[in-house]
Structure 1
Amino acid sequence: MGKLKEISSRLLQLDPMIIVLIETRVKKSKATNIRKKLRFKGMYLDNYVDHDNGRIWLCWDNNRIDLKFVHSSSQLVHCGVYGLDGIFRYWLTAIYALNKLENRRSLWKDIVTLHSHQQGPWCLIGDYNNVTKAQDRIGGKMVTEAEYTDFSDMLEQTGLAKMDSQGDYFTWSNKHVEGTIYSRIDRVMANVSWFQNNLDVNLHIMPPNVSDHALLWLQHRDRELEENVLRQKAKIDWLKLGDGNNSFFYATVKSRANAKGMNMLRKIDGTVCATQEDIENMVLEFYGELMGKKSTNLKHIDANAMRRGG
């Protein structure tokens, strides 16, 4: 009961339009009663049809937004997000991956399949139960390349990129006094279109409190920071060529900006730009090399190199 009260209190304080709850461990027969105690007045989607414990709950305030179910499995719930005017906003996928690597491979395949059957902005949020590099875990078993190869391949096939965050780096801990393990397995991923439409959104990694997972909170920046984003955007608007690869570069750079601007960019050759002047020169140099060329002759941007940047 204490955990339920804590979750309800945090939800009421944050007042989100959309909530993703994972690892609920609530039987379907008790779901309605538990949801009433959460005191969140809205609508729900879940995946009880795919798993007895309904591992994923999607909740939304239907006075502000609308969600329409598309697909579910034991590891995801996929839906479309619409305004109250009925206009499509973006695709949203709530993720809670299984513990075993072979089970997660089926999740990566599902994500690739979703990508091949839809167009438009797309955001995925949740617990992927998967690290992406050695630095994503402290304690426990040493990270091996085999742990994240399939995950990386999925990102390459779908064009999805991980969203940078503010707050704690690690999102999960076993909370043991001895043999403590910390890992970064909860994250937000999105495609170029979603990043371009949400340049004013920050991802905060908040304290876990009663859970062993941190709370992920997507928040729009305040007015001052929003104006700062618009000023940064205006600096290079005149250089936009409209090519898809340029859009990827632009969206990736902007998604890595924080309230004070970009901290660091890494060139494809591995050179790091850390000062504001060097960063601005790198962006201008990149677009300057493309000016005057036809879009059919533009070289493909190395997506992996861009993800390693910053």
Structure 2
Amino acid sequence: MKILCWNCRGIGNPTTVRELKQMLVANDPDIVFLCETKINANKFSSVRSRCKMEGCLAVNANGKSGGLVIMWKESNKVEVQTYSSNHIDLIIKLENDNPIWFTEFYGNAEPNKRQCSWNMLRRVGQSVTEKWIIGGDFNAILDNAEKEGGRGKASALMEDFREVVDELSMADLKTDNGWFNWVNNRDGTALVKERLDRFLMSANDMARFPFMETKVIRQSTSDHDAIILDTEGRKSRDRHRDPRLCFKYDVCWAKDVEAKKIIKEAWQKGSADIMGKIEMVGKKLGGWQYKKLKQMCTQMGTLQENINKVIDSQGGTYASNKLKALRIKLGKLLDEEEKYWAQRSRIQWLKEGDRNTRFFHVRAKNRRKKNNIARLKDMDGYWKENTMDISKAIREYFQKLFKSNLNSNTLLNLDYIESCITGEENDRLLKDFTENEIKEAFSQMDPRKAPGIDGLSGNFFKENWEVVGEDIIKLCHDILRGVKNVDCINYTIIVLIPKIKEPVDMTNFRPISLCRVVYKIVAKVLANHLKETLRHALAKIRALLFRGG
């Protein structure tokens, strides 16, 4: 289970929403707690929808301050208990159905009202019957080591915080990276850094979570960094398939000069056959993309480390300009990463029934386990658990499904069907296809749709039309005129969309075919060509039905 907490300092800003979405994609939390949302609860539904969380509870802001929201991925695992302007209480069911009590907490920012916050936690503690975790922005520190710069905190305030932690038998969970998570972003001696955001856990239950991990997630918009708790963060992971074995054009490199150069050279050096050119692009671009992504991840990791060093450095002059420069660089890399994961998050394709599972493609790093078909019942009801047996069960299912039981010699009697196509319409259907029709068909397609077996989406052809356009038009033209057989592009990937959360056999999946872009263009041209004539023909048939003819 993963819990993310963030003082977002206003969720109405599109940049903040973007940064939130990036965090969700990169970290895949089950629970998300935001404080200081600064918006009313009724305005949060659109944010929840964009973040693709199943449920949420929002607490109104007080004017332009305050405001809490809790979002969760699975409603059947969350039960809201109590809430106020400073907290939200949940009972969460873990995978083994053992419940855990989680309190999202926002401590009062005014020191003279801080005691009210501690008393509220004491009241909640009296109701807790399960393992307890508290997380959020406490607006308080436990000791002077949690603050650097500015005037020292009053000893009484720190003592009050330590007292409530001891009284509730809670343990402070130190983060594995970073220390300070709030910076006022001022220059020189005016700079202040504090550790205000944290997780606390009932001390007696710490041993039950040996793999627990907590981290700081550095931000570029809010002065507060986010924190995340993962109950299995230190657990060893299964090895995954090398992404180099499955090429897919990454739209995040669409404007990259080096990528465009590689594509142009590969396309021009490829064979005269367009399928050979496409294969050459996949070979050349696949390795480059893999190295580029690793390089980007390394750069982001280095920037995160440098930001941590600047923020957590003890003593000396604080280089605020350096921090700003580092955050700008990180923001640019986050933009590229957002495009990369947006292509794999498949939000639109999920809506339209066109999302892939790990059996063919990996949706995203943090979704691999969910999308993997770990086991499957074959047609005789026996469980299959290794890759070869699962593949065999799927193949046998489709072989039986598509096996025809009809007599191929059966002739259909069409004498009773009245002709609906006029001579003029027939001439229009027989008219030669034009280059403009092919271009128009391509422009009508959504370039973000999933790629076919060659790994090239519509975005590839759109961004590199000057290089590939002439060859694509010629191939489509040859197929439409019957000069070339459509078989050269008629290869698809069948992907499996789960109909239920935990599929058992093949009837629990909906198969979707992913075609090559060239095939889609040809199909679209034909559809456009037939559209007007079919409309007239169907109108005639409907008229006959109404007359009872």
**Which range, TM-score by smaller chain?**
0.5 to 0.7
8 Å contact 1:120–1:193 — kept in the other structure?
no
Question: How many percent of aligned residue pairs carry the same amino acid?
Answer: 18
Superposed displacement of residue 35, structure 1: 2.4
Query: CA–CA distance in 2 between the matches of 1:47 and 1:199?
Result: 34
8 Å contact 1:134–1:142 — kept in the other structure?
yes
Tell me, which stretches of 5 or more residues in structure 2 are unaligned?
A: 1-13, 238-549
Correspondences of 1:266-285 after superposition (within 5 Å): none
What is residue 174 of structure 2 aligned with on the other side?
A: 164
What is residue 44 of structure 1 aligned with on the other side?
A: 56
8 Å contact 2:94–2:100 — kept in the other structure?
no
Query: CA–CA distance in 2 between the matches of 1:174 and 1:142?
Result: 15
Distance 1:83 1:198, change over 3 A: closer
What is residue 12 of structure 1 aligned with on the other side?
A: 25
Superposed displacement of residue 54, structure 1: 6.3
8 Å contact 1:126–1:186 — kept in the other structure?
yes
Correspondences of 1:255-294 after superposition (within 5 Å): none
Q: Deviations over 1:190-243 (max 9, x none)?
A: 103432221211111121222111111113234449xxxxxxxxxxxxxxxxxx
What is residue 217 of structure 1 aligned with on the other side?
A: 228
Query: CA–CA distance in 2 between the matches of 1:139 and 1:173?
Result: 10
Superposed displacement of residue 16, structure 1: 1.0
Query: CA–CA distance in 2 between the matches of 1:32 and 1:42?
Result: 11
Query: CA–CA distance in 1 between the matches of 2:27 and 2:17?
Result: 16
8 Å contact 2:146–2:194 — kept in the other structure?
yes
2:103 aligned with 1:93, yes or no? Answer: yes
What is residue 240 of structure 1 aligned with on the other side?
A: none
Superposed displacement of residue 29, structure 1: 3.3
What is residue 143 of structure 1 aligned with on the other side?
A: 153
Correspondences of 1:1-310 after superposition (within 5 Å): 1-37=14-50, 39-48=51-60, 51=62, 55-62=67-74, 66-83=77-94, 87-178=97-188, 179-219=190-230, 220-224=232-236
Task: Indicate the RMSD between aligned Cα atoms, in angstroms.
Answer: 2.3
Distance 1:108 1:200, change over 3 A: same
Superposed displacement of residue 46, structure 1: 2.6
Superposed displacement of residue 175, structure 1: 1.2
8 Å contact 1:8–1:40 — kept in the other structure?
no
8 Å contact 1:134–1:144 — kept in the other structure?
no
8 Å contact 1:122–1:193 — kept in the other structure?
no
Superposed displacement of residue 5, structure 1: 1.0
Distance 1:28 1:58, change over 3 A: closer
Query: CA–CA distance in 1 between the matches of 2:18 and 2:54?
Result: 18
Greater Cα shift, 130-139 or 187-196: 187-196
Query: CA–CA distance in 2 between the matches of 1:201 and 1:222?
Result: 6
1:36 counterpart letter in structure 2: S
2:88 counterpart letter in structure 1: V
8 Å contact 1:27–1:54 — kept in the other structure?
no
1:200 counterpart letter in structure 2: F
Query: CA–CA distance in 2 between the matches of 1:126 and 1:36?
Result: 23
2:121 counterpart letter in structure 1: I
Query: CA–CA distance in 2 between the matches of 1:137 and 1:193?
Result: 28
Q: Deviations over 1:250-280 (max 9, x none)?
A: xxxxxxxxxxxxxxxxxxxxxxxxxxxxxxx
**SS class of match (1:166):** coil
Query: CA–CA distance in 2 between the matches of 1:54 and 1:194?
Result: 31
Superposed displacement of residue 84, structure 1: 7.4
**SS class of match (1:24):** coil
Query: CA–CA distance in 1 between the matches of 2:205 and 2:39?
Result: 32
Q: Higher strand fraction: Structure 1 or Structure 2? A: 1
8 Å contact 2:48–2:56 — kept in the other structure?
no
8 Å contact 1:67–1:80 — kept in the other structure?
yes
2:25 counterpart letter in structure 1: L
Query: CA–CA distance in 1 between the matches of 2:18 and 2:233?
Result: 28
Query: CA–CA distance in 2 between the matches of 1:197 and 1:162?
Result: 16
**SS class of match (2:57):** strand
8 Å contact 1:137–1:183 — kept in the other structure?
yes
- TM-score for both structures, normalised by structure 1: 0.66
Superposed displacement of residue 43, structure 1: 0.8
8 Å contact 2:181–2:197 — kept in the other structure?
yes
Query: CA–CA distance in 2 between the matches of 1:20 and 1:4?
Result: 14
Distance 1:25 1:117, change over 3 A: same
**How many pairs does the alignment contain?**
222
Distance 1:128 1:181, change over 3 A: same
Superposed displacement of residue 88, structure 1: 4.5
2:109 counterpart letter in structure 1: N
1:144 counterpart letter in structure 2: A
Distance 1:45 1:203, change over 3 A: same
Superposed displacement of residue 160, structure 1: 0.9
Q: Deviations over 1:78-137 (max 9, x none)?
A: 11112478x441100001112112322111111112222222200000000001111111
Query: CA–CA distance in 2 between the matches of 1:155 and 1:138?
Result: 22
- TM-score for both structures, normalised by structure 2: 0.38
Query: CA–CA distance in 2 between the matches of 1:6 and 1:103?
Result: 31
Q: Higher helix fraction: Structure 1 or Structure 2? A: 2
